[in-house]
Structure 1
Amino acid sequence: MASLSSSVLCGIMALLLWMPLGWLINRRLGFGRDLAAPLAPVMGWATQSAVSLALSSLTGFSTGTIFASAAIVAGLAFILPRKQTEFESNERSAAPRAGLALFAMAATVACLPAAAILPKFIDGGVILAGPIFDHAKIALIDEMLRSGVPPANPFFAADGGHGRVSYYYLWHFSAAELARLCGATGWEADIGLSWFSGFASLMTLAGFALRFSGDRLPAFLAVLFSVMGSLRPILIGIFGDEPLHAFLKHGSGLAGWLFQTSWSPHHVTAAACVLVAVFLLAELAGRPTIFGTLVIALLLAAGFESSVWVGGITLGLCGIAIAALVLRRTGAKQRVLFAITCIAAALTALLLSFPLVSAQLHEGAARGSLPITIHAAPVLGVLFPPAWRQTLDIPAYWLVLLPLEFPLIFIPGLVGLRRIVRFGHEDEQREHLGWAFTVLGFGSLGCSWLLLSTVGDNNDLGWRAILPGLFVLTIASAIAVSHWLRGLNVRRYAFAAVIVVIAFVGALPDTWHNITGNLFGHMTASARAFAESPALWAAVRSHTNAETRIANNPAYLQEVTPWPVNISWALLSDRRSCFAGNELAIAFASLPTQERLDISSLFLRVFDGTGSAEDVTRLYRDYGCRAAVVTSQDGAWNHDPFATSKFFRLVQVEEGKWRIYVAADTDATDAPQAQK
């Protein structure tokens, strides 16, 4: 089970590894005191991780490559030539520093999403919070610790062999780095990196709020607003569940920083990379440097390799518009140089990311369908006739859904964007920066509005593509609200402040629900059985090696999470599965839908006790299962098809709890005789 102390150690190691490196890079780029420290976490993480993954793929994953990659980035910062930038030479002496209080606030708030991944110990059992469902990817972190990079596919391989991972796994590789340095498990490293990712993204928002406003208050407000939730719960309390959901579709999937960081911190980190990359691109447009171009390339690579949806599709579409805008607003003499900078950064990022780009293309071809289509986000409910609903959904996204889901961010943010656009009105060199952020904001919201991913059952693209836009609007909203609060003596500002207070109060129930859910978890009847899982998987490891693929019930302890997933295996086994379950196969197995469902049905009936001898043979022959675990919670406990199979032999029995089988042709020295 994950240890709090080891998780904290991983968080501290993340700070020590990436903060100083990021600060060095930022100072060499000429960042002022309002940005150098706040952007240090995400800058250090992005540059070191992108280089480390490439280096580890060539030389092997080790402690040496972790430190060597950091040394390479630091060395390039000193070796590569750079010109004095305009924002360095004209740094304003009055520019505010972030201050320890802001860092402390961001570090404290970042504990909220990290808490969602911690196990919650109760009398005789262990419970988990809902977001742990999406952290089943911890199995990928453990796989990299065992086999290095590129990792084998721990979730499924068609022939039971090595397999290939087509997922964007840079963030999980970074967690493996922390685990390697701290001697921690993948679960503990995931907790530590989730905290660091929350901290880094919050400081990115705070840093840009400082830069665009020249004031500390918006930076604190940006951190506060990031936690706030939706108006849905309070509207349900006022109007009732059925009337509201007749008007609105039940659950949009869109959510703010707290929810998204709890569930998918890699997408949030990619969004922070996108903001910093756009900032650098705009700031260096008229004065590009070799080092600045390299840093942009590393940010682009890190964003893509952590989230295809955010750092790939969203940034790709928005980046074209931003580059065209900046190019048009750049002086004639600098246009060619700026175009060369963009092309060089893009090609370098593509070179660094090519293994993952190739894997994504292979996955799309294997699935046999386009992964993205154009479809307006569904908003309205059954109260509206289907023929009208699809048309009305188009404006309802902007007029209803976004104000409802992001009450403290959307409308004040639109007002605040005007101040961001005017950020450089006294300096022609900086004027395009505000426009670049505005294009990114609306472009990101537009991607979430009209693009639909077809890879899985959910629109992951729409849910994650909105993140850069939310970040921009959070910064803008904090600036606008700060301006209103400081002008309370003016009637119009007082009215605006009252509206903000109403939105704040309305969002509190959802905010409280998210926080308490993360802290206290989801109580289930399987809490005691889950607490015994570490002993089960320790026994399995004693009879298998790192390359053994294990068959266990994909539905084992599925009620531990709000949605069914093979979470006990993912968090605790430290071994590969021959089929980890339908939910994980959607993301990690390049299978046509019907084939995936057929395989899922095969494994489920074997472990519910209705499988045949031929079914067990298929597990061994077709899917490379070389070990199997049957527990007392499985229907197969009383109708065990492995007991009569010639392909498996029993090696351990824990009376009333589990049986462990290994392949009959396994060397006896590798699998001890049956134990009781």
Structure 2
Amino acid sequence: MFSFGSAFLAAAVGLVLWTGAGYGLARALGIRRALALPLAPVLGWTVQNALALEISRWAGSPLVGTLGALALISGGWLLSNRRVVEPPDDTPTMPFWVFLAAAIVALLPAMAVVPKETQAGIALAPAIFDHSKIALIDAMVRDGMPPVNPFYGPPGERAGVAYYYLWHFGAAQLAGLTGARGWEADAAASWFTAFSTLTLMAGLALRFARSPLAPALAIALCVTGSLRPVLEAAIGEDRLAGVLRPATGFAGWLFQSSWSPHHVAAAGALVIATLLAVRLAANPRVLTALVLGLVVAGAYQSSIWVGGLVLALAMLALLPLLLRSVPEGGLPLFLLAALGAAALALLLAAPLLVEQYHAGVMRGGGSPVAISPFPVLAENAAGRFGRLLDLPAYWLVLLVVEFPLIYPVGAVALWRLASRRHARTLSGREARALGMLTLVSLASSWLLVSTVGDNNDLGWRAVLPGLMVLTVAAAAGLARLLAQRGRVVAGLALAGFAASLIGGVVIAAGNARGEVSPDAAWFARAPAMWAAVRRHAPAEARVANNPALFATMTPWPVNISWALLADRRSCFAGNELAIAFAPLSQQRRGEISDRFLRVFAGEGSAEDLRALAETYGCDVVLLTARDGAWARDPFAGSPLYRLVETEPEAWRVYVTTRNTSYPAPSTTPQGSQ
């Protein structure tokens, strides 16, 4: 089902591949050795993936893209024979144990992806719901590039992927290099994203505090969570619900790294882009402009919200600061370099932009972004003031509750860092630029809302870059205070950390333990079931199964066994996945979903069955004993499909009669031989 050895090998390959590429680039850009290594994983991941994705689009193979990107990065490093000379500073080298601590803490979000064997069967963590995009990783490895939509794509319709899939392409590279399956590669990539963003925050904390305590504090702060568990214990769950709205995806690093590592990766890339923009203004260079363009493109291709909207707003807000940083007489060169970086980013992002435009047209529904305050207070608490109170409550209540130590301490420390007397130095300008990024990030979550799906992904994810910077600032500020003020500050910091740690422990425990559902025992048999499907489904075939199968394994019903184990395309993977991946209007998506659910509930008509075979191109059908159609099987007597394999009281595999090359029916599954 899942090989920990394959996942470990894939993670190790990613660590060497992306950290090595990033370190070479960082040194070529003139970044000091003390900072180059902590920044290297995020920098290398973003640049190498952006390059490899573009190369693989032309070559058709992620592996060719990997090798081509490494060749280009190596060539750029060799050709860059001039480095930026910085004034000497006293930034110490980050101790090795900090990297080791980051590697260990990074296991906490990665645990959300792996299955847990229990006496009742297989348990999955709730966050696996958002990792159902593993099907996209398998599709890239199986079918090459550009990816063919594995979630939906009837004959005669566009089969491209409009989702921001660079992170999943990175996982596909790991799978191609190591032979890991998509599920294992996703776990490895999740670990690397967590590790890389931890080292990024730790390195910046060390740069601003000049204290080896700062990176340790940065990593410690990342395992904290919301104050909600403490508040519920103190005043009661019902009373808290009468004041605050329920928790959402608006949460800290640990939660977001567990659920949506691609958005976290984009946030790390945006922090790197901010630092590179400051360096480009101070000393315009071709290599800096090229790397900045690649980082911007990679951020957008990983998250349209973080790397697209927030990045664009942040760069506009940073422009006055950057212009003031340009040396006398260097403005024309800076503008030329900045335009070149923007043009490169736009060129690389163009294919995804085109796909997203077409998907938006097909979906309809108007603008994907609207202006609306983030809902904070419960309806009864707001009273006659309505949503107006949500405006100040976001800053005074929500941010304090969700980031209890990071937000208040980080905001004060960041203000002090940005207003120091040496603000004209490179590190001072970086602090001010990161402060502006933080303001834009928090304000975007405050006022902007995404309208594409059922959830406000924009509001939840836009906070990530600011959260990372505040974590850096809080760690640096606490390190300085602990060195100067002693026991009182240490006691207060420890109390705040303990209160916020409880929320982090809840998340980590959920990732490690998972949730045992009524389908746990059946899910343990799912690998053999999907192996039977693959025996009769060529690589290009599309498979139909009940989208609600194993619905209790995840917080919301999603076709999770298909996504994790099938390694074949679906003709319709279900409503939850179609929201993001199918260019369908809400009405049309609902009609298709209802049809598939009817068929597998045993209530479908002959017209529904013909639609599966002809309209949606379902070449292979998997029917299980968990489906309502098992007892009143519509496929058994249909001229459109024929039975090719069955496991008594478990599953049946049918193939379309349009293909007569299948073997005779079998009752012995391969897994039992």
- TM-score, length of structure 1 as denominator length: 0.96
User: Using the alignment, how far apart are the partners of 2:614 and 2:68 within structure 1?
Assistant: 43
**1:449 match:** 446
**2:625 match:** 632
**1:111 match:** 107
Decide whether the 8 Å contact of 2:125 with 2:514 is kept in 1.
Answer: yes
User: Using the alignment, how far apart are the partners of 2:252 and 2:351 within structure 1?
Assistant: 31
**2:393 match:** 396
Does residue 1:287 correspond to 2:278, yes or no? Answer: no
More deviation, 175-184/360-369? 360-369
The secondary structure found in structure 2 opposite 1:98 is coil
Deviation for aligned residue 1:419: 3.3
**2:480 match:** 483
Q: 1:151-208: per-residue Cα shift (whole Å, max 9, x none)?
A: 1100011437671100011110111100011011011111111111110000010111
More deviation, 565-574/153-162? 153-162
Does residue 1:8 correspond to 2:1, yes or no? Answer: no
Q: 1:614-640: per-residue Cα shift (whole Å, max 9, x none)?
A: 111111122111111110000000111
Deviation for aligned residue 1:332: 4.2
Q: 1:71-90: per-residue Cα shift (whole Å, max 9, x none)?
A: 111101222564x4242xx2
User: Using the alignment, how far apart are the partners of 2:298 and 2:529 within structure 1?
Assistant: 37
Decide whether the 8 Å contact of 2:208 with 2:427 is kept in 1.
Answer: no
Q: After superposition, where does 1:16-35 map in structure 2 within 5 Å?
A: 16-35=16-35
Q: Quick one: which amino acid aligns to residue 544 of structure 2?
A: A
Deviation for aligned residue 1:481: 1.3
Deviation for aligned residue 1:431: 3.6
Q: 1:227-258: per-residue Cα shift (whole Å, max 9, x none)?
A: 10000011111111111111111124311111
Q: 1:469 is matched with which residue: 456, 466, 469? A: 466
Deviation for aligned residue 1:426: 6.3
Does residue 1:619 correspond to 2:615, yes or no? Answer: no
Q: Quick one: which amino acid aligns to residue 96 of structure 2?
A: L
Q: Quick one: which amino acid aligns to residue 153 of structure 2?
A: A
Q: After superposition, where does 1:98-497 map in structure 2 within 5 Å?
A: 98-123=94-119, 125-159=121-155, 163-368=159-364, 369-385=366-382, 387-422=384-419, 425=422, 427-489=424-486, 496-497=489-490
Q: Quick one: which amino acid aligns to residue 122 of structure 1?
A: T
**1:38 match:** 38
Decide whether the 8 Å contact of 1:456 with 1:587 is kept in 2.
Answer: yes
Deviation for aligned residue 1:509: 2.3
Q: 1:565 is matched with which residue: 541, 558, 562? A: 558
Q: 1:332-365: per-residue Cα shift (whole Å, max 9, x none)?
A: 4222222222211111011111111111222222
User: Using the alignment, how far apart are the partners of 1:70 and 1:329 within structure 2?
Assistant: 33
Judged with a 3 Å threshold, the aligned counterparts in structure 2 of structure 1 residues 268 and 317 are, in CA distance, closer, same or farther, namely same
Judged with a 3 Å threshold, the aligned counterparts in structure 2 of structure 1 residues 428 and 557 are, in CA distance, closer, same or farther, namely closer
Q: Quick one: which amino acid aligns to residue 317 of structure 1?
A: L
Q: 1:16-69: per-residue Cα shift (whole Å, max 9, x none)?
A: 211111111111111112211101111111111111110011112153431221
**1:53 match:** 53
Decide whether the 8 Å contact of 1:167 with 1:588 is kept in 2.
Answer: yes
Decide whether the 8 Å contact of 1:160 with 1:624 is kept in 2.
Answer: no
Q: Quick one: which amino acid aligns to residue 635 of structure 1?
A: G
Instruction: State the superposition RMSD in angstroms.
Output: 1.6
Q: 1:396-415: per-residue Cα shift (whole Å, max 9, x none)?
A: 00000000000011000111
**1:553 match:** 546
**2:584 match:** 591
Decide whether the 8 Å contact of 1:130 with 1:518 is kept in 2.
Answer: yes
Q: Quick one: which amino acid aligns to residue 30 of structure 1?
A: G
Deviation for aligned residue 1:605: 1.1
Decide whether the 8 Å contact of 2:602 with 2:630 is kept in 1.
Answer: yes
Q: How many residues align?
A: 666
Q: Quick one: which amino acid aligns to residue 135 of structure 1?
A: H
More deviation, 364-373/382-391? 382-391
User: Using the alignment, how far apart are the partners of 2:540 and 2:156 within structure 1?
Assistant: 10
Does residue 1:91 correspond to 2:88, yes or no? Answer: yes
**1:79 match:** 79
Judged with a 3 Å threshold, the aligned counterparts in structure 2 of structure 1 residues 426 and 326 are, in CA distance, closer, same or farther, namely closer
The secondary structure found in structure 1 opposite 2:511 is helix
User: Using the alignment, how far apart are the partners of 2:426 and 2:201 within structure 1?
Assistant: 22
The secondary structure found in structure 2 opposite 1:525 is coil
Q: Quick one: which amino acid aligns to residue 667 of structure 1?
A: T
User: Using the alignment, how far apart are the partners of 1:655 and 1:161 within structure 2?
Assistant: 37
User: Using the alignment, how far apart are the partners of 2:58 and 2:384 within structure 1?
Assistant: 55
The secondary structure found in structure 2 opposite 1:603 is helix
Does residue 1:507 correspond to 2:503, yes or no? Answer: no
Deviation for aligned residue 1:280: 1.3
Q: 1:458-510: per-residue Cα shift (whole Å, max 9, x none)?
A: 00011111000000100111111112212234xxxx65544433322222321
**2:649 match:** 656
The secondary structure found in structure 1 opposite 2:623 is strand
Q: 1:584-619: per-residue Cα shift (whole Å, max 9, x none)?
A: 001101111111111111111111111112111111
**2:519 match:** 526
Decide whether the 8 Å contact of 2:223 with 2:504 is kept in 1.
Answer: yes
Q: Quick one: which amino acid aligns to residue 613 of structure 1?
A: A
Decide whether the 8 Å contact of 2:249 with 2:256 is kept in 1.
Answer: no
Judged with a 3 Å threshold, the aligned counterparts in structure 2 of structure 1 residues 211 and 648 are, in CA distance, closer, same or farther, namely same
Decide whether the 8 Å contact of 2:270 with 2:296 is kept in 1.
Answer: yes
Deviation for aligned residue 1:429: 5.0
User: Using the alignment, how far apart are the partners of 1:403 and 1:301 within structure 2?
Assistant: 33
The secondary structure found in structure 1 opposite 2:375 is coil
The secondary structure found in structure 2 opposite 1:584 is helix
User: Using the alignment, how far apart are the partners of 2:139 and 2:88 within structure 1?
Assistant: 46
User: Using the alignment, how far apart are the partners of 1:273 and 1:264 within structure 2?
Assistant: 15
More deviation, 27-36/163-172? 27-36
Deviation for aligned residue 1:330: 3.1
User: Using the alignment, how far apart are the partners of 2:426 and 2:270 within structure 1?
Assistant: 21
Q: 1:369-405: per-residue Cα shift (whole Å, max 9, x none)?
A: 2111000000000223565121000010000000000
Q: 1:497-547: per-residue Cα shift (whole Å, max 9, x none)?
A: 444333222223211111111111111121111010000000000001111
Decide whether the 8 Å contact of 1:375 with 1:451 is kept in 2.
Answer: yes
Decide whether the 8 Å contact of 2:166 with 2:302 is kept in 1.
Answer: yes
**2:670 match:** none
User: Using the alignment, how far apart are the partners of 2:579 and 2:613 within structure 1?
Assistant: 22
Decide whether the 8 Å contact of 1:423 with 1:430 is kept in 2.
Answer: no
User: Using the alignment, how far apart are the partners of 2:421 and 2:281 within structure 1?
Assistant: 14
User: Using the alignment, how far apart are the partners of 1:386 and 1:592 within structure 2?
Assistant: 36
User: Using the alignment, how far apart are the partners of 1:170 and 1:252 within structure 2?
Assistant: 25
More deviation, 569-578/230-239? 230-239
Judged with a 3 Å threshold, the aligned counterparts in structure 2 of structure 1 residues 564 and 66 are, in CA distance, closer, same or farther, namely same
Deviation for aligned residue 1:328: 3.3
User: Using the alignment, how far apart are the partners of 1:506 and 1:124 within structure 2?
Assistant: 34
The secondary structure found in structure 1 opposite 2:330 is helix
The secondary structure found in structure 2 opposite 1:250 is coil
Unaligned runs of 5+ in 2: 668-673
More deviation, 444-453/153-162? 153-162
Q: 1:291-316: per-residue Cα shift (whole Å, max 9, x none)?
A: 11111111111111111111111011
User: Using the alignment, how far apart are the partners of 1:584 and 1:392 within structure 2?
Assistant: 35
